[in-house]
Amino acid sequence: MIKMNKSLKLKKTFISLFFFMATSFFFGQVDEPPVVIAEGNQAFCIGNPINIVTNFSITDGDDTTVDSFFIQISSGYQVNFDRLELTGSYPTINSQWNNIQGKLSLTSSISGTEILLTDIENAVKSIVFSTTSNNITTKKTFSLTIDNANYLPVTDHFYQFISSPSITWADAKIAAEGKTYYGRQGYLATLTSEEEANFAGEQASGAGWIGGSDEETEGVWKWVTGPETGTVFWNGQVNGSTPNYANWNNNEPNDFKGNNPDGEHYAHITDPSIGNRGAWNDLPNEGGTDLYIAKGYVVEYGTTTDLPLKIAASTSIYIPQITATTSATICESGIATISATASEGTILWFDAMVGGTQLFPSGNSFTTPILNSSKTYYASTSVNGCISLDRTAIEVVVNQKPTITSITEDLICSGSATLSATSSAGKINWYDSLTSTTPLFTGNTYQTLPITTTTTYYIEANIDNCISSSRVEVIAEVNSTVPEFDLVKDAYFLCTDTGSVTLETTNSLDNYSYVWKKENVIISGSLATNNATSSGNYTVKAISLAGCESVEKQIIVSNSNIATITNDDVLLVEDSDNNSIQVINDNLGIGEYEFSLDDEFGIYKDAGFFEKISAGMHTLFVNDKNNCGITTYKFSILAFPKYFTPNGDGENDVWKINGFNSDSFTIAEISIYNRFGVLLYQMESSSQGWDGRYQGKILPSNTYWFRVILSDVNGRKIEKTGSIGLIRK
């Protein structure tokens, strides 16, 4: 149980009864606790100690002493900087400062005795607060109580850390609920605000259990003790969120199952040496190991239905603040008036953040001398002559007149123009005249309303009403001329072996960009020409610099290619009175073809038929009318003489095949036989012909026979036999 400051006492009252008897009765009365009253909500002058109360009393209707008294910095405490100290001489009182808890304890200096209430009153009035911090919290609260339990004025609750090494959470919950404090029921602490968590956590003396758990639903953390029972304060694990307030330590709660497969379901204030002091972690019911072993638990006393206890009181100190400031700007040079307001006190003005010169007069506003460059002044409030409070910077900005540094005008066909500008500083205002006072627009880029004629706008730069010396013209030019151009051709043929064809426009009246499409889909390219790599329906339109568009013009691209011709495509008639060649295949390719014989640059005709061709080598030229190229077909027209007269007159002295050229034939077998089938002669490709001899002997006039097997360079095979008349005169 909690040790109480006052013991129960029995006061004896003796009542004498007259008439025949007298009986003595003892009446037991509960000792009433003292009543503590403290006053003080004072402005604190930085650097100067201050008494924590302006008035203080402690009274007790049935007692004149207490065991001890405690004064604690219950909010705004800055550990290692703030300090409470008993000043003056109080030989009957010992004072002890606890730097971790921010608490000053007063006890009797005489062993076995209590402190007189009158000595407590005088001593408390002599307790001063001081700090060495350079960044002081703006408000601090002091709690004054007769008991060692920590009192937090903002909740009007008492908090107590109970040391109980290795106690389980379940046992701690039972133990806390078994404690009372001056009639208030105890429970494991529920810390629902930052101030409460800092007070109970950071200023507690060890790692201990508090009243949070997710045992009912994993990841849903609730307060399960005290008046907040059932209130959810966290959802999830490490990356979860709070619907109100939580103070988990780094990487908590993590439901660690290393030593406990059931996980961690109970909230615990972490050991002060781990992470953030006073923050929480989750542990199993039995606690953890090493630094995670429970050192005890935190009990909270107080519900919404409790009557106020007068065993504690509170006071506070605060630092007066500059609550608002008004800066000023000047164009090029001049004076300015700046101002400040404070929570209380008189405004002092300085020319430096620290030290410097105090400027006069004091008050809420200050008028500067003539300034040619920016300058910062500093305002501070003074209460009761204090001049050490923080100073707030207030700047007077001296602007130089800005200039327009660049403009971008626009040329449009119709509609809205987009104009832009930049300035050396400030914002840009757009006007419709040199003298108009109401801007059309403010900003760097102005989208005009739709216009039909060239329009001039005017701009100026403005920085805090410091305006450029003159307005600058920005022109939105309208040119609604529709682009005109021609096509070099409206139809092209794409030779499949070359891969592309250039589509061309011509006779443009200006420098246009072009939009090319194929089958109504935009293709890359914006120049006057474009390469087409496939057949189809193309269109092109021109766009002027102003954005006006021409009508679309259509170009048809068709496929074509050079002809392919083989032996199967022609019919040769030779060794006749009318030798001829005829192209018998109407489909030599996808092109459109014309023909010429033996003259590539001669006259071509649509029909592929030529007659009265002489014996010998010839070339058929096949031209694609769509300019995909010329294909050649070389062939021989052969004639086989019926007779020859080898009489040495130089005419018709040998028999040979007319039109035969050994270079045009890959196979040439020419044999001469007599009527009995005796091979008389076999020509070689280089032979000049048969002179009518056999083995050097002159053969007589007679009929002989030939057999020819030929294969030309086109792969055409010729097999022919016939008679030869040898005539001798």
Classify 626 in phi/psi space as left (phi over 0), alpha (psi -120 to 50) or beta. Answer: alpha
The pLDDT tens digits of the residues spanning 224-256 come to 999 999 999 999 999 999 999 999 999 999 999
Which pLDDT score, from 0 to 100, does residue 260 have? 78
pLDDT, tens digit, 9 for 90 and up, residues 663-695 = 777 778 899 999 999 999 998 766 788 999 999
What is residue 9's predicted lDDT score, i.e. its pLDDT? 28
pLDDT given at position 611: 95
Specify the pLDDT at position 16: 31
CA 519 to CA 517: how far, in whole Å? 6
**pLDDT value at residue 19:** 30
Strands (DSSP E) contained in 544-700 are 553-560, 570-573, 580-583, 593-597, 609-611, 616-624, 629-637, 643-644, 665-673, 679-683, 693-694, 697-698
Q: Lowest mean pLDDT: which of 32-36, 279-283, 709-713?
A: 709-713
C-alpha distances out from residue 230 to 201, 234, 251, Å:
22, 12, 25
* pLDDT above 80: residue 484: yes
pLDDT in tens, 421-434: 999 999 999 999 99
| pLDDT exceeds cutoff 60 at 23 | no
What are the angstrom distances between the C-alpha of 518 and each of 554, 557, 621?
A: 10, 10, 35
Nearest to 505 by CA among 551, 463, 540: 540
Mean pLDDT, rounded, for 39-61 = 96
Mean pLDDT of all residues in 187-210:
87
Residue 251 confidence (pLDDT): 95
Say if residue 26's pLDDT is above 70.
no
Identify the band that residue 205 occupies on the pLDDT scale cut at 50, 70 and 90.
low
Residues 55, 40 contacting (CB under 8 angstroms): yes
pLDDT at 8: 26
Please state which of the ranges 67-71, 206-210, 522-526, 597-601 shows the lowest mean pLDDT: 206-210
The verdict on whether omega for the bond into residue 320 sits within 30 degrees of 0, i.e. cis, is no
Single-letter residue type at 145: T
**Residue 31 binned pLDDT confidence (cut-offs 50, 70, 90):** low
Number of neighbours of residue 137 by Cβ within 10 angstroms? 15
| Whether residue 84 has pLDDT greater than 50 | yes
pLDDT (0 to 100) of residue 701: 92
Q: In terms of pTM, does the model score above 0.85?
A: no
Average pLDDT, the chain: 91
pLDDT band at 269 (very low <50, low <70, confident <90, very high): very high
> In which band, very low, low, confident or very high, does the pLDDT at 714 lie, cut at 50, 70 and 90?
confident
Q: Which of 352-366, 447-461, 479-493, 638-652 has the lowest mean pLDDT?
A: 638-652
Tell me if the bond preceding 253 is cis, omega within 30° of 0. yes
Mean pLDDT of 356-374: 96
Give the number of other CB atoms < 10 A from CB of residue 30: 9
What percent of the chain is predicted at pLDDT more than 70? 95
